């Protein structure tokens, strides 16, 4: 499984502080390697998933067998 970032999401990711970036990278690596993470399919969506990390959410779109990170942010900003 391949995991990529959209351009918008990569810009969001770079703006986070170092400690948060490391935490997000750790969770994404764990997901990519098949480890257990808090992931669910978004309701009403065909191919979108969300990973919960405390107050932050990572939104993923499944494209064939690969995933694209489409959004990263605090919960209150993601679900607007």
pLDDT at 18: 97
pLDDT of res. 74: 93
Q: Which residues of the chain have pLDDT under 50?
A: none
How far apart CA 66 and CA 77 sit, in angstroms, is 25
The pTM for the full model equals 0.89
Which domains does the chain possess?
3-78 (3.30.2310.20)
3-state helix, strand, coil in the chain (%, to 5): 35, 35, 30
User: Would you state the pLDDT for residue 33?
Assistant: 93
The full length of the chain comes to: 80
Q: Can you give the pLDDT at residue 2?
A: 92
The per-residue pLDDT for range 62-80, each reduced to its tens digit, is 999 999 999 999 999 887 6
């Amino acid at each position: 499984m391949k995991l990529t970032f959209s351009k918008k999401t990569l810009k969001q990711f770079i703006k986070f502080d170092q400690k948060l970036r490391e935490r997000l990278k750790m969770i994404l690596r764990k997901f990519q390697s098949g480890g257990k993470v808090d992931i669910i399919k978004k309701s009403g969506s065909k191919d979108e998933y969300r990973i919960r990390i405390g107050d932050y959410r990572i939104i993923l779109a499944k494209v064939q067998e690969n995933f694209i990170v489409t959004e990263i942010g605090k919960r209150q900003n993601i679900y607007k």
